[in-house]
A = this chain, B = another copy of it.
Amino acid sequence: MAVTRRSYSRATETERREDLIAATLDCIAEAGIQGATVRQIAARAGVTGGLIRHYFATKDQMLQAAYRQLMDGITEITKTAAEGADPKTRLRRFIVANVTPPVTDSRTLSLWAAFISHIPLDPAFAAIHRESYVSFLAELETLLIAFFAERGRIVSRQECRAYAIAVNGLIDGLWLEGTLAPDLFKNEELSETAIASVEAMLRLPPGELC
């Protein structure tokens, strides 16, 4: 008896990899890390389970690739939000972008937290986090330096770093709060709080960043 075999089409390596990574993120977002099984991911990507090991030596390596892509995506969004315009506007846009959709998004948070919880368990994940954190901090520091320079305010390198750390903390924290309990905040409350707080943290007169 002639066994019928599922028809398929071959894809380029990059295409397939992207599909698999996208499917991985979908599965984690919908069912947690526990639900991101090889079979579920394969089904979501429209392939059979065995194919995964053709592209990734192990499931863990695929998870790491997915984590990397997630963080790159977030960095990309906030970075482009802060393009063009003058230093003040760039800084404001960067801050706002971090506490508004699509960054404040239940799916993004679920993914982020799932990976964060693996950081203490697996050095590979720790390295990815470290990389994206350092890059984020550097971007923020650059924005702050430009902002201070434009206003002719002298701020030492150390102070700038301290400001970046603090502002980054605030942004992360508000992002968390706003994403975990969006119903507790009125429409613009979060961005306004973020802007007003950064103003204060930088010892600017109220309304200076608006």
Contacts and interface: CB of A to CB of B under 8 A. Distances in A.
Given A121-B31, A130-B181, A173-B171, A166 B113 contact: no
Secondary structure call for the A interface = helix
A168 interface: yes
A169 to B, nearest CB: 3
A116 interface: yes
A149 interface: no
Each complex incorporates copies of this chain amounting to 2
A174 B166 contact: yes
Contact of A173 (B30, B116, B170, B203): B170
Interface residues of A, number: 45
Contacts of A109: 116, 119-120
Contacts of A171: 173
A119 B179 CA distance: 11
A65 interface: no
A133 interface: yes
Interface in A34-62: 34
A30 to B, nearest CB: 8
Interface of A: 29-34, 106-107, 109-110, 113-114, 116-121, 129-130, 133, 162, 165-166, 168-174, 176-177, 180-181, 185, 189, 193-194, 196-197, 200-203
